[in-house]
């Protein structure tokens, strides 16, 4: 890890996200010639901490995040992390990674949670493939949600700037490329005891066994499968799944969501309607409260691929 500002990056004041760790800012990395790459730089601030033990723990967690991201390896399903550094002036650890065009939640909102034929299916399959790849690499993500998937949407229905998709003709629309990122809450499957029992994640997406009163770490990867189920439901309906006393997934009213959106059941050449009928059913099959009845990611992918032809994104 180098120390000081990195001269390869051009900074902007735009914030892409924020949390207890600090902020994520938009930057540009010089790729040679006149080429610049959009970058998201996660800046973990150490200035607020007055205890040395707390600073050491934050540095350890940052190093762990880098190691787990790199364990996932070079993959089209994972956002790569570049060489981190310590910013002396800001007193922050800087973790640079590809920014993409937006995150998956922003993309879905921009689409109004209504997509061209088979684009929704491609989005969901790519999310499932990304989580499955992370698990094959021995990592449990623990914060699977649309905000933690980066979208490269150039040339897609929500990414085209020429307005060519505004007339309702989606015949040439391609799905965006979706990749998973943010390993700040991740852990290795080999980690046992207190680490796997930590109650971490985003509340709407957390599995029941994550919470302290119902903690079960026998199948740690199952919590990511649950979060994926909520993610698929969110993408296909615009709202979150609602549970009754019998813990059965039900179709919620629109006012449950902060955006209050539900997709219209209109079709584009008759294909969109069946997709939207099928996707909540897939989500419902995933959201089994008993984690041992929850399907594996392999079964989820088989179910998704059985809905229709999966249109591959342009990488």
CA distance 78 to 69: 8
Q: Residue 182 — pLDDT band, cuts 50, 70, 90? A: very high
CA distance 186 to 15: 23
Q: Residue 259 — pLDDT band, cuts 50, 70, 90? A: very low
Q: Residue 104 — pLDDT band, cuts 50, 70, 90? A: very high
Cα angle 200, 201, 204 (rounded to 5 degrees) comes to 135
Contact in structure between 225 and 295 (CB atoms under 8 Å): yes
40 — phi, psi (to 5°)? -105, 120
Q: Residue 3 — pLDDT band, cuts 50, 70, 90? A: low
Strands across the sheet containing 92-98: 2-3, 85-87, 92-98, 35-45, 22-32, 9-19
Contact in structure between 100 and 150 (CB atoms under 8 Å): yes
CA distance 228 to 206: 10
Known binder of ligand: residue 83? Answer: no
Element (H, E) at 136: helix 119-136
Domains of the chain: 2-98 (3.30.200.20), 102-305 (1.10.510.10)
Cα angle 203, 204, 209 (rounded to 5 degrees) comes to 65
Q: Residue 2 — pLDDT band, cuts 50, 70, 90? A: low
Indicate the range of 115-124, 132-141, 164-173, 242-251 predicted with least confidence. Answer: 164-173
- Ordered alpha helix ranges (H), 217-296: 222-237, 272-286
Query: Does position 80 have pLDDT exceeding 70, yes or no?
Result: yes
DSSP-derived 3-state class of residue 234: helix
Residue 30 burial (CB count, 10 A): 13
> What does the pLDDT read at residue 167?
44
22-49 pLDDT, tens per residue? 789 999 998 888 888 899 999 998 888 8
Percent of the chain surpassing pLDDT 90: 43
Question: Which carries the bigger pLDDT value, residue 272 or residue 87?
Answer: 87
In whole angstroms, how far apart are CA 258 and each of 147, 158, 215? 15, 21, 28
What is the average per-residue pLDDT within 247-264? 41
Percent of the chain surpassing pLDDT 70: 77
> What does the pLDDT read at residue 4?
60
Q: Residue 189 — pLDDT band, cuts 50, 70, 90? A: confident
What is the average per-residue pLDDT within 251-275? 45
> What does the pLDDT read at residue 162?
43
> What does the pLDDT read at residue 33?
82
């Amino acid at each position: 890890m180098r120390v000081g500002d990195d001269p390869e990056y051009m900074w902007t004041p735009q914030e892409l996200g924020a949390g207890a760790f600090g902020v994520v800012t938009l930057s540009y990395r010089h790729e040679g010639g006149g080429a610049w790459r959009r970058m998201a730089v996660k800046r973990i601030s150490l200035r607020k901490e007055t205890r040395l033990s707390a600073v050491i723990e934050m540095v350890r967690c940052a190093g762990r995040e880098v190691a787990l991201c790199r364990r996932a390896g070079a993959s089209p399903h994972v956002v790569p992390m570049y060489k981190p550094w310590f910013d002396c002036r800001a007193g922050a650890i800087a973790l640079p990674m590809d920014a993409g065009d937006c995150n998956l939640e922003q993309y879905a909102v921009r689409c109004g949670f209504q997509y061209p034929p088979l684009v929704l299916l491609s989005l969901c399959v790519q999310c499932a493939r990304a989580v499955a790849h992370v698990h094959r690499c021995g990592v449990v993500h623990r914060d699977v949600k649309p905000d933690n998937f980066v979208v490269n949407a150039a040339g897609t229905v929500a990414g085209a700037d020429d307005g060519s998709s505004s007339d309702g003709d989606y015949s040439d629309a391609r799905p965006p490329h979706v990749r998973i990122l943010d390993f700040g809450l991740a852990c290795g499957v080999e980690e046992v005891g207190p680490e796997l029992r930590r109650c971490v994640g985003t509340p709407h997406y957390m599995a029941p066994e994550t919470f302290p009163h119902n903690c079960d770490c026998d199948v740690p990867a199952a919590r990511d499968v649950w979060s994926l189920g909520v993610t698929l439901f969110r993408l296909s309906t615009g709202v979150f799944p609602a549970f009754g006393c019998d813990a059965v997934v039900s179709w919620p009213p629109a006012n449950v969501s902060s955006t209050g959106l539900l997709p219209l059941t209109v079709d584009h050449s008759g294909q969109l309607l069946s997709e939207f009928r099928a996707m909540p059913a897939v989500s419902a099959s995933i959201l089994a409260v008993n984690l041992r009845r929850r399907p594996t990611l392999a079964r989820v992918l088989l179910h998704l691929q059985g809905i229709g032809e999966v249109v591959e994104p342009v990488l």
